[in-house]
Amino acid sequence: MQTKQHKSRFNLPAGIYALAHSVGPLPKVSKIALQEHYLAPWEQLGGDAWPKWLQSIDSFCIAIASLINATANEICPQPNLASGFSAYLTAIAKLSENQGKWRILMHQDAFASMGFVVTGLAKSYGLELILVQGSPNDRDAWTTELAKGHVLACLFTHVHSNTSMKSDIVRLVELAKKHDTCALVDIAQSVGIVPVDANEWGADAIFGSCVKWLCGGPGAGFMFIKAVQIAKLNPDPVGWFSHQNPFEFDITHYAPANNARRFWGGTPSVASYVTACASINMILDIGVAQVALHNLELKRYLLQCLPSKVTIKPSEEELYQQGGSLCIGCDDMDTAAIKLNQAGVRYDRRGNIFRLSLHISNSLDDVEKIAECFV
């Protein structure tokens, strides 16, 4: 792995950057793309820049489709996961075939924002949030709740942010389908570092973000909707970019787009998709498999270098069941935090856990310096 070569692709903050699970480092190509494909057309064309801007968003959808093994018509840009999840739930809740279903299942360690979506829709759509306990891959725990009936959808988290634990999506989707329930997947913490295959999974919808391992910055989210379902789904709310022809401007004629973009809504933030598209294509050029292998090698080396006082850590075998983040804890968290800060390590802490996420821009030297903070 040519670490130095890949590190040179980024504009990195000072110190050791280990926050890819929060905001991925800024690729140099994204900064260039922002100028060439967003600012320059705006400067040169003003309001006539829309065709070029929309072409950039088309390129974004194509890149996402390539990344997750889908088609561009199954991809809809979204500002974030919550917006796509909310729109999808409104669409399926209105279907006559789903009358009598209102329970939404997700694991207790799911991202809080997704839970807030359900509780926010509870009064208007009669939805109820049910949190599944135990291991995310405990099929019996999911089955117990599914067997109670009235389940509209299961939201499975591919990689959990607080533990880095990876869900067996293929088996969980099969379980949901067995109980005639919509199978949905959150890939915010996995896409770009763990392989995602929409075709293999068979999920009804997938919700993702580019801000983390894809290094695309905030504001560039997306959703996948299985093609065979799109025509029957009509989300709330909609906007002019949900229309078959956004530039028709006939207020008396609303015709939803015949692809996933019927979920789009109002005027998009073009800049977000321009920068994200450049970063995604960079990751595709390097190869997600190569990024994942590099990440695994760094984590394995860090585990070897850590002293015994680091009592909370995965085994090497468990690393293969996790996403890109390494979640560790030690006897004296406060002292370790002081040393990490002094060493210029950019990380985060949740209770008795440090989260460290090493990307293609990190090196073995970074790992050694991090390990020294626990000695």
Per residue in 157-186, pLDDT (tens digit) is 999 999 999 999 999 999 999 999 999 999
Residues 116 and 245 in one domain: yes
Report yes or no: 364 and 10 within 8 Å, Cβ to Cβ: no
Same domain, 245 and 299: no
Work out the average pLDDT over 80-99.
97
Same domain, 144 and 269: yes
Q: What is the CATH number of the domain that holds 62?
A: 3.40.640.10
> To the nearest whole number, what is the mean pLDDT of the chain?
96
The band of 5, judged by pLDDT with boundaries at 50, 70 and 90, is confident
Do both 266 and 299 map to the same domain?
A: no
Residue 199 has pLDDT above 90, yes or no: yes
Domain boundary among 266, 284, 302: 284
**What's the domain count of the chain?**
2
pLDDT tops 90 at residue 197: yes
Whether residues 10 and 49 share a domain: the answer is no
The pLDDT confidence band at residue 217, using thresholds 50, 70 and 90, is very high
10 Å CB burial of residue 236 (0-12, 13-18, 19+) is: middle
Q: Is the pLDDT of residue 3 over 70?
A: no
How deeply is 252 buried, as exposed, middle or buried, from its count of CB atoms within 10 A (0-12, 13-18, 19+)?
exposed
Edge to edge, the sheet with strand 325-328 lists 325-328, 353-357, 348-350
Global pTM value: 0.96
Residues 57, 271: Cα–Cα separation, whole Å: 9
> For residue 241, what are the CA distances in angstroms to 139, 202, 248?
40, 27, 11
Q: How confident is the model at residue 17 (pLDDT cuts 50, 70, 90)?
A: very high
Query: Distance (Å, rounded) from C-alpha 244 to C-alpha 215?
Result: 31
- Give the end of a domain, one of 284, 309, 331: 284
Q: Outline where the chain has alpha helix (H).
A: 3-7, 28-33, 40-45, 50-68, 81-93, 112-125, 139-146, 169-178, 198-201, 227-230, 270-286, 288-305, 316-319, 333-342, 364-372
Given a cut of 70, whether residue 1 has pLDDT beyond it is: no
Output the CA torsion sign for 319, 320, 321, 326: positive
Nearest to 327 by CA among 305, 344, 348, 342: 348
Q: 293-340, pLDDT tens digit by residue?
A: 999 999 999 999 999 999 999 998 899 999 999 999 999 999 999 999
Asked whether residue 2 carries a pLDDT value surpassing 60, the answer given is no
* pLDDT for residue 204 is more than 80: yes
Instruction: Please report how the helices 288-305 and 364-372 are oriented relative to each other, as an axis angle in degrees rounded to 10.
Output: 30
User: What Cα–Cα distance (Å) separates residue 202 from each residue in 38, 141, 246?
Assistant: 35, 21, 30
Residue 336: which domain range?
3-26+287-372
CA distance 43 to 103: 49
State the pLDDT confidence band at 4, using cuts at 50, 70 and 90.
low
Q: How far apart are CA 57 and CA 268, in angstroms?
A: 9
74, 224 contact by CB (below 8 A): yes
> What pLDDT is recorded for position 316?
87
- The answer to whether residues 205 and 73 belong to one domain is yes
Task: Give me the percent of the chain exceeding a pLDDT of 70.
Answer: 99
Alpha helices by DSSP H, 212-305: 227-230, 270-286, 288-305
Cα–Cα distance, 294 to 93 (Å, whole number) = 42
Same domain, 222 and 295: no
pLDDT bracket for residue 223 (50, 70, 90): very high
Q: d(Cα 102, Cα 96) in Å, to the nearest integer?
A: 12
Domain end among 249, 266, 284: 284
Handedness of CA 152, 158, 160, 161 (dihedral sign): negative
Amino acid at 177: K
Pairing mode of beta strands 221-225, 75-78: antiparallel
Q: Are residues 277 and 292 in the same domain?
A: no
State whether 13 and 44 are in the same domain.
Answer: no
Let me know whether 70 and 97 are in one domain. yes
Per-residue pLDDT at 282 = 97
123 and 18 both lie in a single domain:
no
The answer to whether residues 338 and 216 belong to one domain is no
Dihedral sign (CA 226, 91, 76, 217)? negative
Domain with 315 in it: what CATH number? 3.90.1150.10
